[in-house]
Chains A and B, each alone.
Chain A
Amino acid sequence: EPEVTQTPSHQVTQMGQEVILRCVPISNHLYFYWYRQILGQKVEFLVSFYNNEISEKSEIFDDQFSVERPDGSNFTLKIRSTKLEDSAMYFCASSPTGTGDGYTFGSGTRLTVV
């Protein structure tokens, strides 16, 4: 069964450093997403991406965040200057239709900011 692959599985970074979280969505999917989950809290939507541009973003997704699809397979989330409160599990997801069903999520990257 096709999978969404995320790397690294765990990243530790110092406050103020830039991090890039990487995702390889399912190859024939057209819609891509990033979500995050702070330990013990809800899964929160960050951003959706379609046709090489952001289609929607949440209030969390401020100027410190950016997404990119640099080639035909990778989808990245960059945090420019990490804060302690950015510590969370970050999930990438992809979907063929963007209609709410059949989203495939990756296993996540646990980001720890120290």
Chain B
Amino acid sequence: DAKTTQPPSMDCAEGRAANLPCNHSTISGNEYVYWYRQIHSQGPQYIIHGLKNNETNEMASLIITEDRKSSTLILPHATLRDTAVYYCIVGDPYTGTASKLTFGTGTRLQVTL
């Protein structure tokens, strides 16, 4: 049972912002939104997570809608090295469902010159 829906692929020009959407319309009150990415066949890499407030770190920004049914990961200045599959995952850290990350098919972001 998919808890998140993401577009299968997106393109972005290098230097531009990449905005990756995620739909999680059945998210429950205690569930967080987590973003990971996988560059080629490497191990997944943690990017950012949030509950309801917008979050920013050195890698990206996470914008969560007020109703929490969707979110957007923003890479402000995409580079070729950001080409990867991006996964949006929801889970509750208090009940343990966040502990085992459940990866979907993600969005394949291609950054081009």
A interface vs B, CB < 8 Å?
4, 31, 33, 35, 37, 42-45, 48, 55-56, 58, 89, 91, 93, 97-108
Complex: how many Å from CA A4 to CA B44?
A: 12
> 13 new A-B pairs (CB below 8 Å) besides A35-B101, A101-B93, A105-B45?
A4-B43, A33-B100, A43-B38, A43-B101, A98-B96, A98-B99, A99-B98, A99-B99, A100-B34, A100-B49, A100-B93, A101-B46, A107-B42
| Interface pick from B12-20, B21-29, B65-73, B102-110 | B102-110
Complex: how many Å from CA A64 to CA B87?
A: 29
16 A-B contact pairs sorted by A residue (CB < 8 Å) = A33-B100, A42-B104, A42-B105, A43-B87, A43-B101, A44-B103, A45-B101, A48-B99, A99-B93, A99-B98, A100-B34, A100-B49, A100-B89, A101-B98, A103-B44, A103-B101
**How near does chain B come to A33, taking the closest CB pair, in angstroms?**
7
**How near does chain B come to A12, taking the closest CB pair, in angstroms?**
17
- Closest residue of chain A to B93, judged by CB? A99
Residues on A with C-beta less than 8 A from B38 are 43
Complex: how many Å from CA A91 to CA B41?
A: 10
Whether A103 and B42, one on each chain, are in contact in the complex, defined by CB atoms closer than 8 angstroms, is: no
Complex: how many Å from CA A101 to CA B93?
A: 9
- Closest residue of chain B to A100, judged by CB? B98
Residues on A with C-beta less than 8 A from B45 are 105
Whether B43 and A56, one on each chain, are in contact in the complex, defined by CB atoms closer than 8 angstroms, is: no
Whether A89 and B99, one on each chain, are in contact in the complex, defined by CB atoms closer than 8 angstroms, is: no
Complex: how many Å from CA A98 to CA B43?
A: 17
Complex: how many Å from CA A47 to CA B46?
A: 19
Residues on B with C-beta less than 8 A from A42 are 103-105
Residues on A with C-beta less than 8 A from B105 are 42
Most buried by A among B43, B44, B101: B43
Chain B 28-65 against A: per-residue CB contact (8 Å), 1 yes, 0 no?
Answer: 00001010101001111110010000000000000000
Complex: how many Å from CA A84 to CA B91?
A: 32
Residues on A with C-beta less than 8 A from B100 are 33, 45, 48, 56, 58
